[in-house]
């Protein structure tokens, strides 16, 4: 398999390139995970996010938008004290708000199908 030059030698990066990069995503939960992680990546390297991905999955309840949408201030504080993730209040609050919007879009989508 030919790899892009940005991949480097780290296994986590190679796996990401080979199994996810450029692969269409049709699962709504997985798509939302990628969108949230991309938001946390702003200003950082993607390898940093990949190395923290499992901690993000745990901290954000498996990227279940219904659960994350119910997060409140206590959850924001919990996340801000979690050294396994990127601890940026704006990004954390943005992910929570994004979960709420994501659910609204899903509701809208269902309504349009009726």
pLDDT of amino acid 8: 85
Which CATH superfamily groups domain 27-113? Hypothetical protein; domain 2 (1.10.340.30)
Which residue, 64, 62, 51, is CA-closest to 102? Answer: 64
Count Cβ atoms within 10 A of the Cβ of residue 111 and give its class: 0-12 exposed, 13-18 middle, 19 or more buried. exposed
Over the range 42-76, which residues count as b (16 or more CB within 10 Å of their CB) and which as e? eeeeebebbebbeebeebbeebebeebbebeeebe
Count Cβ atoms within 10 A of the Cβ of residue 33 and give its class: 0-12 exposed, 13-18 middle, 19 or more buried. buried
What residue ranges do the domains of the chain occupy? 27-113
Asked whether residue 112 carries a pLDDT value surpassing 60, the answer given is no
pLDDT tens digits along 31-71: 899 999 999 999 999 999 999 999 999 999 999 999 999 99
Provide Rg for the chain, Cα atoms: 15
């Amino acid at each position: 398999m030919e790899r892009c030059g940005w991949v480097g030698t780290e296994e986590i990066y190679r796996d990401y390139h080979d199994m996810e990069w450029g692969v269409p995503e049709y699962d709504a939960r997985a798509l939302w995970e990628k969108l949230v992680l991309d938001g946390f990546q702003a200003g950082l390297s993607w390898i940093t996010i990949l190395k923290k991905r499992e901690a993000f999955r745990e901290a954000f309840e498996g990227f279940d938008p219904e659960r994350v949408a119910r997060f409140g201030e206590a959850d924001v504080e919990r996340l801000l004290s979690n050294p396994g993730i990127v601890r940026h209040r704006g990004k954390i609050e943005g992910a929570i708000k994004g979960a709420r919007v994501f659910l609204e879009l899903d509701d809208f989508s269902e309504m349009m199908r009726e």
